[in-house]
Amino acid sequence: MEQKKKIIGITGGVGAGKSSVLAVLKENFGAKIILADLVAHELMEPGSEGLKKVTEALGTSFLAPDGSVDRKALADMIFRNKDALRTMNSIIHPLVWKTMKEAAEAAEEHLVIIEAAVFDTAPKDLFDELWYVYTTKENRILRLMANRGYSREKCEDIIGRQASEGEYRALCDRVIDNNGDESDIKRQLKEILDHEIC
């Protein structure tokens, strides 16, 4: 019997350890991983459809002399100008989802994972399931302090700006508890995926 492709969206707050869950899915379950941030980045490369549309709407003041995006200049512009940020997001977000949907549908793998920070602009029919990678706030802070060198205050501030645990849980079909080690992640994923796929 032909195995049906499964497309799963994965989300979670900063420091939740989504990358370790994605690594297990790729290495142990042969999943194709698509990262929204990476797609968004590629859509702002010189010659891309995204950058063309953004410069048509916002001008070229944030471009470097070689035509590439000066990330600092762009960050400064959208930090100062909320309308510019909204305009850019209204152009890039639909393109990101369109690109990821096409990549997911074209993938030869039977398991496709799309990782994104937010799913509010995602096509409703794209996913079979949405998963939330859950880690306690304290563990997230400790990971961010260890991995990124952030102060506790900075961690608290970043976490405070993101969706709450309740909002993530309400959005998602399943919760992956990432407070343990890699073997614990493998065990949870095996329970879900063996049950689902076999």
Q: What is the pLDDT along the chain (198 residues), one digit of tens a residue?
A: 456 899 999 999 999 999 999 999 999 999 999 999 999 999 999 999 999 999 999 999 999 999 999 999 999 998 899 999 999 999 999 999 999 999 999 999 999 999 998 887 788 789 999 999 999 999 999 999 999 999 999 999 999 999 899 999 998 999 999 999 999 999 999 999 987 654
Predicted confidence at residue 198, as pLDDT, reads: 42
The confidence score (pLDDT) of residue 3 equals: 66
Give the whole-angstrom CA distance, residue 25 versus residue 185: 9
Q: Given this model, what pLDDT does residue 122 score?
A: 85
Q: Is 154 exposed, middle or buried (0-12, 13-18, 19+ CB in 10 A)?
A: middle
What is the structure's pLDDT at 84? 92
Q: What is the pLDDT of residue 188?
A: 96
Calpha distance 13→168 (Å, rounded) = 9
Q: What is the pLDDT of residue 197?
A: 53
